[in-house]
Structure 1
Amino acid sequence: MRQVFSSPRLENVEAVAQLMREAGIEVRISNGRSYKGNRRGAFSYTDAEAPKPAVWVVQSEDQVKAREILRAAGLIDSTRPSDSFTTPTFRFEPQTQVRTSAQKRMFRIKMTLIGGIVLVAGMALVRGINTKPAPALALPPFDGTIGATLPPIARAVFAKEIAAIKMPMLCLAVDGKDASTELIGQLSTPAKPIVPASHCVRVADEERGSYHQHTGREAAFVEVHAFRPSAPDVGQIEFSAYHHRMWASYKTLEVRRIQDTWQVVRVIKHVAT
């Protein structure tokens, strides 16, 4: 004999045995009803060591047919022949379905969260691409009072004026202070190095002239100051370039913001020595 099916519940075993008998297969049940004909007590998962009721095929030639019947009934997963039977058991489909549903629900939650993160990141990226920095505008009063020079105005004036200055080095200042590192980096070139004004020595004597204190090279002090706005996008500013008392240039310039960019539009006054 060969065991082909077992279950903790006697009702399942008897149902399989009846299925086999209807197919003409002789079977026996082990650990079934007691000698008095009563059913076994209710199954308890704490009684894991108790013998389980089982179905046994009596004739060896019926074993293949029995496997086919069990496979067709969904009680085993494979009918591949082997040297010995593995004990078939019921597949608990409801538990599998519950577990699969939970996994699907968690997957949907994760995908929703990921989708939300991607959406927020995408919106932030698009907003960053489409949002231009607000153009710098002058602040009131607009009555000729001197105000702080806006960085884009200083950059526009220097970019226009320093190209004409024939001096080995330039020493930049804005409103009497060193120009920013960012501004110097934007304007400096290997052919015309630019340094902060504090790195240079101002000399009025035309025999020596101003120079860079670390290298001794001739240098010109270049400065913008005295910005007087007449409107948020219009104003006047003073520009000077000084090497010594006989080499100096002073200009009053009109600046205007045109298409979000500050530009020098005209020279109002120019004095040179």
Structure 2
Amino acid sequence: MRQVFSSARIENAEAVARLLADQGIEVRVENGRTLRSSIRGNFSYREQAEGATRAAVWVIRSDDQPRARQLLREAGLLEATAANPGNFLPAIGHAARLDAASPKRRVRVRFGLLIVAAVALALWLNQFRNPGWDLPEPVRADAPAASPIDPSLQAIATSADTHYRIPTPPALAATLAALEQAQSPDARLCLAVDGEAPGEAALAAARAAGLDPRPASTCEDGDDSLRVSVSDYLTDGSGSGTVEVSVARGDASPTPRRVEVERAEDQWRILRTL
């Protein structure tokens, strides 16, 4: 059973019920005439107290409902909604209220929505232009003063970066020993390489240069031997560098000096004394 019509006036509900009944539709009227309203025939409206019910027409059989609504619509008592002409239920929701509102009200509502959208867009763009506008400026800490660099330490670091101390090449030791032997050809040569007795490679290079060296540890101080010590070879890897040469004869104290040397293929050249 479905309700198809309601009215505050009982005569309207009864007229609709008769219209449907004449078409063979079984109906029932609720909240219609009572004994009191029949006696007071000069008043046909239901008393409209707060919460009072209205006279309503109900279709008993559900399969008669579409035909009943069609008859009411043809009689101008029921209107289809604009969204769906086949739907006879009243429109609800925000869209229906806007359609029922006056044109001026619709214009005001749309204008208000445009203003809200414009304000939101302006705030969003301002946030991208200045993302930190609401944050306090960070406190900048003073940078600590740089301590002065000791020039001597800087020189040592530079020297360590560009020069390397490696074992003295045997051919270089033999070349320097031959130069000293040429100045004292009658003296017996005692040779030390990097503070130690010369190795087999150094002895072989000296013999190839025409020398007959003995380890410096076998020569005693005070004799007439020529003591030559070659050590502390520094190079940058390019084939040139500096080396320290210490020479002594007899009771004389060793005299060290540093010379600049350069390798040319298998030969060594003495460039200058530093």
Give the TM-score of the pair, scaled to structure 2.
0.36
Comparing both structures, which one devotes a greater share of its residues to strand?
1
Comparing both structures, which one devotes a greater share of its residues to helix?
2
**Larger Cα-atom Rg:** 2
